């Protein structure tokens, strides 16, 4: 496409104007790294949630009262179990326990594989408890008195966003701490062997129990996929920062074609460079800057998010103090990266190539006198 000699000369000219190009390079790298970091964090969180939902029940049924989650009972469980197509309905107990000393909420989940004296905790929970010297066991306070559970193990960091504030314990303990009776549940987990029937059965459950909310696995995964509202809040601020930076970058790009550079184009034209050669020179120079800045920006974002665990940015996404313990799973959405590449590199190149072309086609006799 381009001759070796022309590429070599483009590089020579690039280094000649290295101060101007360095400015573009730094701004471009900043924009790409900022946007890539946001993409990486949101993708990692979303991916964790979607993956976790894969192993969940086909339908989750929750009761509501005055718009808030409310208990379900054994009668509800049996009536759903009687629906054709449903193979099993399990009652689940879970809820939130407020650890007032640390001012954080723990998510208690029943797990019948654990004994009555032990619990398994998330990484964030472990850290919160450790602050108050609960190293081996923790005391829960309820209307039935104090319940002491021994810490059996810490959940893997890889399961992450979901397990971070979680405490798994025997369902009887969850009931005792949260005040559930023996035949009461916080959720019903419905198994439907035929995936084609899930939609119909979800509707039937709502018809059968009008106050409940029945959510299919697909709906849960879809809601996780749209977890982040990219058009508002912190994203808007980030976009503005990037837009302003990009405008500064484009202004610098345009200036790379005017002033002293205008004369340079005229000189090259006078010694035999055709318009296409000028465009090629400008393209090679700026493509080198854009590609290297893009790759560096993505690399910095990757290191920042997945190696250094996104300091500052993680608090924006995960919010609670417990969020500090989450470890992001390395997930890179190549489609989004490609979009970012297209919408940053093409304007970057266009804003120097088009003015250069306009100068190159003009009468150069005045410029070289």
Q: Which residues bind other proteins (CB under 8 A)?
A: 3-6, 8-9, 12-13, 16-17, 260, 263-264, 266-277, 361, 363-365, 368-369
Q: With respect to other proteins, which residue has the nearer C-beta, 6 or 336?
A: 6
Q: Which three-class secondary structure state does DSSP give residue 81?
A: helix
Are 217 and 211 spatial neighbours (Cβ–Cβ below 8 Å)?
Answer: no
Q: With respect to other proteins, which residue has the nearer C-beta, 277 or 333?
A: 277
Are 148 and 104 spatial neighbours (Cβ–Cβ below 8 Å)?
Answer: no
Query: Considering only CA atoms, which of 91, 89, 63 is closest in space to residue 211?
Result: 63
Q: What is the dihedral of CA 276, 282, 285, 286, to 10 degrees?
A: -120
Closest contact distance (angstroms) between CB of 289 and other proteins is 17
Closest contact distance (angstroms) between CB of 336 and other proteins is 39
Closest contact distance (angstroms) between CB of 126 and other proteins is 60
Closest contact distance (angstroms) between CB of 285 and other proteins is 13
Closest contact distance (angstroms) between CB of 248 and other proteins is 24
Query: Considering only CA atoms, which of 292, 261, 291, 298 is closest in space to residue 278?
Result: 261
Integer Cα distance of 148 and 181 in angstroms: 20
Q: Which three-class secondary structure state does DSSP give residue 356?
A: helix
Closest contact distance (angstroms) between CB of 267 and other proteins is 5
- List the strands of the sheet with 137-142, edge to edge: 94-99, 104-110, 166-169, 118-121, 145-154, 137-142
Query: Considering only CA atoms, which of 43, 38, 109 is closest in space to residue 314?
Result: 38
Q: With respect to other proteins, which residue has the nearer C-beta, 107 or 269?
A: 269
Integer Cα distance of 351 and 247 in angstroms: 10
Q: With respect to other proteins, which residue has the nearer C-beta, 2 or 132?
A: 2
Closest contact distance (angstroms) between CB of 271 and other proteins is 5
Closest contact distance (angstroms) between CB of 263 and other proteins is 8
Burial of 357 (0-12, 13-18, 19+ CB in 10 A): middle
Integer Cα distance of 17 and 23 in angstroms: 10
Integer Cα distance of 364 and 264 in angstroms: 11
Integer Cα distance of 158 and 156 in angstroms: 5
Are 352 and 286 spatial neighbours (Cβ–Cβ below 8 Å)?
Answer: yes
**223: which 2 tokens?**
């809601």
The secondary structure element, H or E, covering residue 73 is strand 72-73
Are 160 and 327 spatial neighbours (Cβ–Cβ below 8 Å)?
Answer: yes
Q: Which three-class secondary structure state does DSSP give residue 327?
A: coil
Closest contact distance (angstroms) between CB of 277 and other proteins is 6
- At residue 95, φ and ψ (nearest 5 deg) are 175, -175
Closest contact distance (angstroms) between CB of 363 and other proteins is 5
């Amino acid at each position: 496409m381009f001759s070796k000699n022309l590429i070599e000369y483009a590089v020579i000219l690039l280094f000649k104007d290295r101060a101007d190009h360095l400015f573009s390079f730094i701004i471009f790298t900043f924009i790409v790294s900022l946007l890539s970091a946001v993409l990486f964090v949101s993708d990692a969180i979303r991916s964790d949630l979607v993956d976790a939902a894969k192993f969940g029940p086909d339908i989750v049924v929750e009761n509501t009262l005055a718009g808030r989650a409310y208990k379900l009972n054994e009668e509800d469980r049996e009536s759903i179990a009687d629906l054709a197509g449903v193979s099993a309905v399990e009652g689940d107990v879970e809820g939130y326990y407020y650890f007032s000393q640390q001012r954080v909420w723990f998510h208690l989940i029943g797990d019948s594989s654990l004994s009555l004296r032990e619990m398994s905790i998330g990484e964030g929970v472990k850290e919160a408890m450790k602050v108050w010297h609960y190293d081996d066991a923790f005391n829960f306070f309820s209307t039935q008195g104090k319940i002491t559970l021994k810490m059996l193990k810490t959940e893997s960091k890889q399961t992450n966003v979901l397990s971070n504030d979680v405490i798994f314990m025997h369902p009887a303990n969850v009931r005792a701490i949260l005040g559930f009776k023996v035949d009461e549940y916080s959720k019903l987990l419905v198994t439907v062997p035929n995936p084609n029937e899930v939609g119909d059965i979800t509707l039937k459950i709502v018809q059968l129990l009008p106050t409940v909310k029945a959510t299919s696995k697909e709906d849960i995964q879809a809601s996780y996929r749209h977890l982040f509202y990219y058009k508002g809040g912190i994203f808007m601020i980030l976009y503005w920062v990037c837009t302003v930076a990009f405008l500064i970058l484009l202004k610098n790009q345009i200036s790379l074609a005017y002033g002293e550079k205008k004369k340079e184009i005229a000189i090259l034209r006078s010694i035999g460079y055709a318009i296409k050669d000028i465009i090629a020179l400008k393209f090679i120079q700026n493509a080198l800057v854009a590609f290297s800045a893009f790759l560096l920006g993505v690399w910095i974002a990757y290191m920042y998010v997945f190696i250094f665990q996104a300091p500052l940015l993680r608090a924006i996404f995960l919010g609670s103090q417990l969020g500090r313990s989450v470890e992001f799973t390395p997930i890179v959405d190549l489609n989004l990266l490609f979009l970012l590449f297209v919408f940053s590199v093409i304007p970057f190149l266009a804003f120097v190539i088009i003015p250069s072309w306009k100068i190159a086609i003009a009468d150069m006799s005045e410029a070289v006198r």
